Amino acid sequence: MPKLKRILCPVDFSEFSEWAYRHALSLSDHFEAKVFVQNVVELWQHPSVCFAPSECYAPFRTHLLDSSRQELHELVSRVPCTGARPHCVVREGVAADAILSFAKEDHMDLIVMGTHGRRGVDRLMIGSVAERVLRHSHCPVLVVHGSPSNAWTCSEGQVPSHPNPILYCTDFSENSEQALDYATLLAQEYNSELILVNVLEEVPNPSALDDMMARATDRLQASIPMEQRELGRQQTTVRVGKPYQQILALCIETKCDLVVMAVRGASAFDPSVFGSTTHRVVQLASCPILAVPV
């Protein structure tokens, strides 16, 4: 069973990253985990400093780093925390690279980060920082979308407390098995209903559909861990169609609070396979997505 003892939450002080931070605190409370809240100071975003006198560079850099530390401490002080006080981390560099290197060097078990809600064509982008982290993270990444109105059950201003139900998506590959471990862990810890779904994308012979769905249902049932069976809070469903479309539709139908999926590293976000299931679900779902690397 995986562990969640060290959680990294990168923030840029937007409302989206603050809501991700609240999710990180919820996980910390349930798993007694340490939370590291990180902000990355990107000097390249201030091109004017390149034209300033050399004696101005060091004070400007110091000002940015000090401001970052102050904002982190204000965030930690403002948002209620029932467990150990989170660790504030300030790094300088390129945001995605700094997040990934810190997560790896300090052995993080999970990264929790927010993405900005979008509409229309821009909705097909999830943000360069989040996408690069998803491509290259060695540990699972919980991507939190939108606003408190569509996040885990809680009142605004409080820590999210109960993701229910949790939707686990599988294509029965070995890559999916590790994601199931995380889905089961979270369902047990939060006492949430676990919904297991498989989508049949290709049905070469329509007359064989019933048999294919029956076999897929049997495989889903067989994959449910014994400890989850004992809780009696699970169900299975088999859908037919484009996987990402069916998963998104199921999210709406079940009003799920969390989707757990495997992601195959860089290849899953390669532009040549832009339609990959995990990528599309991360892009378009309104609830948080836990992407588990394989």
User: CA separation (Å) from 124 to 45, 118, 147, 230, 274?
Assistant: 24, 8, 18, 40, 10
The helix (H) or strand (E) run that includes residue 280 is: helix 277-284
**With 0-12 CB in 10 A as exposed, 13-18 as middle and 19+ as buried, what is 9?**
buried
What is the structure's pLDDT at 163?
Answer: 86
Query: Using CA atoms, how far apart are residues 243 and 271, in angstroms rounded to an integer?
Result: 18
Query: Using CA atoms, how far apart are residues 181 and 175, in angstroms rounded to an integer?
Result: 11
What is the structure's pLDDT at 46?
Answer: 63
What is the structure's pLDDT at 286?
Answer: 83
What is the structure's pLDDT at 43?
Answer: 77
- Crossing angle of the two packed helices 243-254 and 277-284, in degrees rounded to 10: 40
Closest CA to 163 of 292, 239, 254, 282: 254
Q: Does the fold of domain 162-288 match that of domain 1-157?
A: yes
Residue pLDDT tens, the chain, 294 long: 788 999 999 999 888 888 899 899 989 989 999 999 999 998 767 656 656 666 677 787 888 899 999 999 999 998 888 777 899 999 999 999 999 999 999 999 999 998 864 433 334 445 678 888 988 999 999 999 755 444 454 444 555 567 889 999 998 887 788 899 999 999 999 989 999 999 998 877 888 899 999 999 999 999 998 878 877 789 999 999 999 999 999 999 999 999 999 987 544 444 433 348 888 898 888 899 999 998
What is the reported pTM? Answer: 0.88
What is the structure's pLDDT at 119?
Answer: 38
Domain 162-288 CATH class label: alpha beta
Asked whether the beta carbons of 282 and 114 are under 8 A apart, the reply is no
Residue 9 CA to chain centroid, in angstroms? 11
What is the structure's pLDDT at 127?
Answer: 65
**Pair type for strands 289-293 and 141-144:** antiparallel
SS (H, E, C) 234-279: EEEEEEECCHHHHHHHHHHHHCCCEEEEEECHHHHHCHHHCCCHHH
Query: Using CA atoms, how far apart are residues 104 and 43, in angstroms rounded to an integer?
Result: 23
User: CA separation (Å) from 59 to 42, 44, 54, 85?
Assistant: 15, 16, 10, 30
Query: Using CA atoms, how far apart are residues 216 and 183, in angstroms rounded to an integer?
Result: 19
Asked whether the beta carbons of 166 and 193 are under 8 A apart, the reply is yes
Record the tokens describing residue 131, joined without a space: 């996408």
Domain 1-157 CATH class label: alpha beta
What is the structure's pLDDT at 149?
Answer: 44
Query: Using CA atoms, how far apart are residues 97 and 129, in angstroms rounded to an integer?
Result: 9
What is the structure's pLDDT at 123?
Answer: 40
Instruction: Provide the 10 A C-beta neighbour count for residue 235.
Output: 14
> Where do the domains of the chain lie?
1-157, 162-288
What is the structure's pLDDT at 158?
Answer: 53
Asked whether the beta carbons of 113 and 17 are under 8 A apart, the reply is yes
What is the structure's pLDDT at 243?
Answer: 93
What is the structure's pLDDT at 161?
Answer: 61
